[in-house]
Amino acid sequence: MAEMKSMFREVLPKQDIGQLSVEDVTTMVLCKPKLLPLKSLTLEKLEKMQQAAQDTIRQQEMAEKEQ
């Protein structure tokens, strides 16, 4: 087997070319927190409309009881 020549030949740089690999250290990146409203504007509008409707019904019931 010593007589068999390798198909690949080893190639080494003649001078120092630089780093062959670079290790990247990951770090945490902090950003501003994104605050979301607890209730959306649409939900607030619907709740106001519902409250107004309930108040109207109560007033009508009170008016009927008085008559």
Does the pTM of the predicted model rise above 0.75?
no
Flag whether pLDDT at 1 surpasses 60: no
Q: Average pLDDT for residues 3-10, to the nearest whole number?
A: 70
Residue 62 lies in a domain: yes
User: Please, which pLDDT band fits residue 58 given cuts at 50, 70 and 90?
Assistant: very high
What domain range includes position 52?
40-66
> 60 or 35: which carries more pLDDT confidence?
60
Residue 56 lies in a domain: yes
Domain total in the chain: 1
SS3 labels along the chain = CCCCCCCCCCCCCCCCCCCCCCCCCCCCCCCCCCCCCCCCHHHHHHHHHHHHHHHHHHHHHHHHHHC
Flag whether pLDDT at 20 surpasses 70: no
Residue 29 lies in a domain: no
Flag whether pLDDT at 27 surpasses 70: yes
